[in-house]
Amino acid sequence: MKHHVKRNVMIWLLATLLLMPSLFALTSKESAMSIDLAGKQHILIQRMVNDLQLISKGIDTKNSRADLLLSAKEFETILHGLQKGDKSLHLQATKLPAIKKELQKGERLWKEIKPSMRKPPENPKLLTEMISRLKMLQVTMDKVVKKYEKSIQREKQALALSSLVKSFMKQKKSENHVVNLAGKQRMLTQKMTKLALLVTLGIDKEANKKRLQQAAALYAKTLEGFAKGDSALGLEAAKSPEVVAYLKEVNAAWKPFSQNIQKIIGSGGKDTKALGYVVRHNEALLKKSHHLVQLFKKSGGKKSFMEKARLNIVDIAGRQRMLTQKMTKEKLLILAKVSPKQNDKKLHETIGQFDSALKMLVAGDASHRIPKPSNAKMIAQLRRVSGLWEKLKPIYLQKKTGKKALSAIVQGNPVLLKEMNKAVHISEVVADY
Q: Once rounded to an integer, what is the mean pLDDT over residues 305-310?
A: 68
pLDDT digits (tens, 9 = 90+) for 60-119: 888 888 988 999 999 899 889 888 888 888 888 888 888 888 889 989 999 998 998 888
How far is 184 from 192, CA to CA, in rounded Å? Answer: 12
Q: Over 60: is that where the pLDDT of 229 sits?
A: yes
Lowest-pLDDT range of 106-120, 145-159, 381-395: 145-159
Spell out the domain ranges in the chain: 2-153, 166-429
CA 153 vs. chain centroid, Å, equals: 35
Q: Once rounded to an integer, what is the mean pLDDT over residues 229-235?
A: 89
Please tell me what DSSP assigns to residue 57.
T
For residue 396, CA distances in Å to 322, 359, 403 come to 16, 18, 13
How far is 291 from 296, CA to CA, in rounded Å? Answer: 9
How far is 205 from 198, CA to CA, in rounded Å? Answer: 7
CB burial of 266-303 (b: ≥16 within 10 Å; e: otherwise) equals eeebebeebbebbbebbbebbebbbebbebbbebbeeb
Q: Provide CB contacts within 8 A for 272, sequence distance 6+.
A: 200
Looking at per-residue pLDDT, the higher value among 346 and 6 belongs to 346
Lowest-pLDDT range of 29-38, 84-93, 138-147: 29-38
Per the CB < 8 A criterion, the answer to whether 20 and 88 are in contact is no
How far is 358 from 206, CA to CA, in rounded Å? Answer: 33
Per the CB < 8 A criterion, the answer to whether 196 and 288 are in contact is no
pLDDT digits (tens, 9 = 90+) for 324-380: 999 999 999 999 899 999 999 999 999 999 999 999 999 888 777 788 888 889 999
How far is 293 from 180, CA to CA, in rounded Å? Answer: 8
Q: What is the pLDDT of residue 15?
A: 45
Q: Once rounded to an integer, what is the mean pLDDT over residues 210-231?
A: 95
**213, HSE (Cβ side, Cα atoms, 13 Å):** 12
Q: What is the pLDDT of residue 20?
A: 41
Q: Over 60: is that where the pLDDT of 19 sits?
A: no
Looking at per-residue pLDDT, the higher value among 1 and 219 belongs to 219
Domain made up of 2-153: CATH architecture: Up-down Bundle (1.20)
Stated pTM of the model: 0.62
Q: In which region does residue 85 sit, left (phi positive, over 0), alpha (psi from -120 to 50) or beta (all else)?
A: left
How far is 274 from 406, CA to CA, in rounded Å? Answer: 24
Please tell me what DSSP assigns to residue 229.
-
Q: What is the mean pLDDT of the chain?
A: 83
How far is 383 from 60, CA to CA, in rounded Å? Answer: 14
CB burial of 154-181 (b: ≥16 within 10 Å; e: otherwise) equals eeeeeeebeebeeebeeebeebbbbbbb
Q: Once rounded to an integer, what is the mean pLDDT over residues 201-207?
A: 94
Other C-beta atoms closer than 10 Å to the C-beta of 193 total 29
Lowest-pLDDT range of 195-209, 272-286, 289-303, 407-421: 289-303
